[in-house]
Amino acid sequence: MHAELNPQPLPPKAISVFAASDVLWDFDKFSQALRSVLDRAGHAGCTSGLQLEWRNFEQYYINPKLEATPVASREQSFGA
């Protein structure tokens, strides 16, 4: 006896990815980051069933002189 297939696909697994601009706009860095995300999600080499939302991430602190300064260097924030 064969099990019936559900005609309704499973909803995609939504994943938010926060990355620095230099990762998002560099093809080689982005490809490496994408592979890492897919490995973590258990989908090595495949985005099927995933909804990836890429977001640019930067943090700034406003000092007493009202100047924006980075909270941490990119190396500290993203392990570059």
Task: Answer yes or no: is 38 within a domain.
Answer: yes
Task: Answer yes or no: is 68 within a domain.
Answer: yes
Tell me the per-residue pLDDT of 39-75, one tens digit each, with 9 for 90 and over: 999 988 888 889 999 999 888 899 999 999 888 654 4
Provide the residue range defining the domain that includes 62: 13-78
Counting residues of the chain whose pLDDT is more than 90, the rounded percentage is 49
Task: Answer yes or no: is 7 within a domain.
Answer: no
Q: How many CB atoms lie within 10 A of CB 58?
A: 12
Task: Return the structure tokens found at 57.
Answer: 């991430």
Q: What is the residue whose two structure tokens read 């943090």?
A: 59
Assess contact for 44 and 7: CB atoms under 8 A: no
Task: Answer yes or no: is 6 within a domain.
Answer: no
The pTM assigned to this predicted structure is: 0.65
